Structure formats: structure tokens, C-alpha cells
Amino acid sequence: MGLMGVQEHGNGEMGMSGISLGTKNKYKRMDSEQSEDQDFDPSHHHHQREDRGSSTRKYVFACAVFASLNNVLLGYDVGVMSGAIIFIQKDLKITEVQEEILIGILSIVSLFGSLAGGKTSDVIGRKWTMGLAAVVFQIGAAIMTVAPSFQVLMIGRFLAGVGIGLGVMIAPVYIAEISPTVSRGSLTSFPEIFINLGILLGYVSNYAFSGLPVHINWRIMLAVGILPSIFIGFALFIIPESPRWLVMQNRIEEARTVLLKTNENEAEVEERLAEILLAAGISNTEKYEEKAVWHELLRPSPATRRMLVTGFGIQCFQQITGIDATVYYSPEILKGAGIESDSKVLAATVAVGVTKTVFILVAIILIDKLGRKPLLYLSTIGMTVCLFSLGFTLTFLGKGQMRILFALLSVCGNVAFFSVGIGPVCWVLTSEIFPLRLRAQAAALGAVGNRVSSGIVAMSFLSVSRAISVGGTFFIFSAISALSVLFVHTFVPETKGKSLEQIELLFQDNHEWQGSEVELGDVEHLVQKE
């Protein structure tokens, strides 16, 4: 019998995560006992539940939005740098190699932030790690804004990268830990929405300020990126700490308070709290040392190895299929297709940004309905076709309007398919497949894989394109994207409708790894394990 999130149709009693347990089962919901002993007005009770459900959904939604604000910074930097680099090159007279380093170094440096973020978020909490990320990025962005030379620009870029690395790994972890099971997929996709929103804002900023003098316009473009981090400061006083982190700190009552705010059903709160306690090892006084966590990651059990292969692999595939090359160098690609003026190129990139943002909204709607794996199939297959189409267009179509049209459609199609699947699902999976004791550190490792892959692609794209042509480079991306389809089929399980604690069971047995449902017996085993 499969697990569903927090819903079950029918009149049977409900057990952990919405499983119908029947009248003889020893796992009985608290509210079922209350209903036997107390008389109440059904309509009044129904309205109370509706009101509570509405306020809870709004609260969790607000938490997910505020936690995702850091990702606007990453998206804005990616989008704005694609246009700002044109004017930085003219103003500071940097070489093509320096251009590649300036663009790609952010992704490489951000891995240090991501690595530090795993430990930092376990020590000071998920919430304040987000605050630290915003502060570090602000300092870096301010230095870049006033940079008189390439060297100073690189110092600011380094700090901005560390801040982005911290923010990009912690937001999905926080949202996954605070979200109800039934809506975790869509809520954990919010960081990817905000990355896309940031990219779009970066493109718009490029277009809006491109008419200013060369020594001023790129500085204003970069300075605007400081604004979102101001809102993050306000957000920290509104959002709660992750209940799972609070449990790890043995702050059980605070965790219960947060769960009461983020779950519609009070009986569900006690079930969730019991699951988290078991997962954290507190119920049997088991405490995990930091060295024990890294020892488990470096010498993993078969189940943990499968988790690492899935999480690290999907993060790398998200980037080595060339999405950052498409976004960072979309002006170069569109110039190569035949668009000549800077203003027209930047206007065309706005269309790319709009497409990327619109289709992430499609993913939000579908991720908890269709599931993770169907969206990954749709995404990776679609990207393979679009990347091949772009390579074909740039290689074989002669100059003219048809070449420009097909190139723009291929770029827009690629970012659309990315946004509807592997873009958001990648972060959802890596935030939910690891057990609580490993989650922050393992998610940090996944983010490192993502950032390193992004940096390698961004720092090598121009050089590789000069060697084998832009079209040839996209043929390579298309082949890698085809491999990602096979990876999804082989290594990624379906996690829709399962609690974070139940997902761990998918990796315990190789037969479960292909995405089959967790059985009731497995759940009882999880509850009873000593």
C-alpha cells in the first residue's frame, strides 16, 4: 500500500502520513479518540479546520518565499553579468580569458560557501545561515559596484560567490524541513522560481541601463543586486527556525510550536514530531558527532551511497547540460546567430528570461501532482532536442532571419524545459532524499557538485566555442543531456507524497530504488526501530 502525504479518502482511521490503519491497529490518531469522547457541532468543527488550514498554508507559503529571497541574488547575478560583461570589457579593457574567469569564478568560489553552509547551518541554524549569506553577498556586491580594476572586481566576486554558495544550499533544506509532506515538492521549488525571477530582473536591468555611459551603466546594474538582501534582513524576524534543526538541538517544545504553525492537523504534529525524534536519534539517546557524519559520507553504507549517487549526480547533470552557458552567454549566442546591436541582443535576452520564469511556474503546479520523475523525463528529453536544434541551427543554417528565429526558439525551448523539470526538481530531490543526520552536509556536497559543474562550463564555454564552434559545443551539451535521461531512469526514485523520514526507506533496498511505494510494514518498522 502506497504512502500519500497527509490525505486519505475514505472513513478509515488515519496513521502515519495518511495511511488508513483500520480499527484494530495500535497506531491510532489522537483526534479519533477525541471524536469518540466528545460531542461537537460538525459544521463548526469543519469551519475551524478550514480556517486553520488556510492560515497554515499562508504561513508556510510566506516562509518559503522569504527563505527563497537569497536565490534572487544568484539569479540576478547570472542574468545581469551576461549583459554587464559587455560594458565591463569596454570600460576596464579586460581580455577574453579574464572575461571567462570573472563570469565562471563565482560558481567555483560558491562551492566554499556551500561546503561551509552544511556545518554552519548545523551550528547556528538554518535561518541564521540565510542571514549570513545575505550579508556576505551584500559586501561582495558593494565592492564590485565601486571596483576601479579587474583585481578589485575579482575580490568582490569572490565574496559574492561565498554568499551565494551559502544561500543556494540552505534554502531548499530549510523549506523541505518546514513544509507539510503534501506540498513539499512545490514549496521546495520556490528557490528555483526566485533564481529565475532574479535572472529575469538581471536581463531587464541590462536593457534598462544599457543606454547610460559605459563607465557607469555596469556599476548601476551590479548595485541593484544589493536590494533583495535588504528584504532578507526583515524576513529573518518573521520566519521560524527549522523544526528538525530544533529537535537536533534538543529544543523539542520549540519544534512542536513550529510544527503546530506549519501543519493543518494537530494530530499530525505529534506524528511528525515522533518521526523527527526517531530520525534524529534522540528517542534512543543517540547523538551524531560531526566526524561521524563525514565518516558516513566518505565511507557510506549501500543505502547512503545510493542517496549520494542520486543527489550528487542530478546536481551535476543540472549544470553540465549547459544551462549556465545558455544564460550567461545568451548575448554571445544571439550575436552569433545574427543579431547585431547590443540593445537588440539584450532585448532578446529578456524574452529568454521571461520564458525561463513562466515555465518554472508550470513546474510548481505539476511537481506534487505528476511527481518528480515524470517532470525529469519531460525536461531532459526536451532539453536534448532543443540543444541539438541550437547546435544544428548555428552550424548549418546560413545567415538570415530564419537562423535568428530558430536560434532564439531553441534557446527559449531549452530554458523552458530546464525550468519545468531538472531546474527545480534537482533541488527538491537533494533536500529530501537524505536522512536528517546527514541532510545539511550531504545537501552541501550536492551544491558543491552543482557549483563546480557550473563554474567549469562557464569558464570554458568561450574557449571551447573558439576551438570547435558554438554549434559544436551545443552538440556536446545535447549528448550530455541524452545521458541525463538514462541517469534519471536508472538512479532517481519517485518521492512524491512521502515524508522525509519515509523517503529514507526507498534507498534501503535496491528493489525499492526504482521508485516503488513504501509498504505499511516498512513504516511500522521505521516507527518501531530501536
Query: Quick check: 76 and 199 in contact, CB under 8 A?
Result: yes
18 dihedral zone (left: phi>0; alpha: psi -120 to 50; beta): left
Using CB atoms within 10 A of its CB, is residue 214 exposed (0-12), middle (13-18) or buried (19+)?
A: middle
- What pLDDT sits at residue 458? 83
From the list 189, 229, 186, 234, the residue with the least C-alpha distance to 76 is 229
pTM of the predicted structure, to 2 decimals: 0.67
- What pLDDT sits at residue 50? 59
Q: 465-472: long-range contacts at Cβ-Cβ below 8 A with a sequence spacing of 24 or more?
A: 469/394, 469/395, 470/332, 470/333, 470/336, 470/394, 471/390, 471/391, 471/392, 471/393, 471/394, 471/395, 471/396, 472/391, 472/395
Q: Distance (Å, rounded) from C-alpha 489 to C-alpha 182?
A: 24
Per residue in 483-499, pLDDT tens?
Answer: 999 999 999 888 887 77
Query: Quick check: 424 and 360 in contact, CB under 8 A?
Result: yes
- Which residues, listed in sequence order, are joined to residue 20 by a DSSP beta bridge? 14
The angle subtended at Cα 111 by Cα 414 and Cα 471, nearest 5°, is: 30
Using CB atoms within 10 A of its CB, is residue 403 exposed (0-12), middle (13-18) or buried (19+)?
A: middle
CA 59 to chain centroid, in Å, comes to 20
Per residue in 445-487, pLDDT tens?
Answer: 887 888 889 888 888 888 899 899 999 999 999 999 999 999 9
pLDDT mean values, one per 10 residues, the chain (530 residues): 36 37 38 44 54 75 85 83 86 86 82 81 88 88 91 92 84 82 76 83 87 88 83 82 87 87 77 78 47 72 88 92 85 84 82 86 85 93 96 87 90 93 87 79 82 86 90 95 95 81 72 41 39
Burial 16-55 (b: 16+ CB within 10 A, else e): bbbbbbeeeeebbbeeeeeeeeeeeeeeeeeeeeeeeeee
The string of DSSP codes covering 412-446 is HHHHHHHHHTHHHHHHHHHHHSS-HHHHHHHHHHH
The string of DSSP codes covering 276-306 is HHHHHTTTTT----HHHHHHHHHS--HHHHH
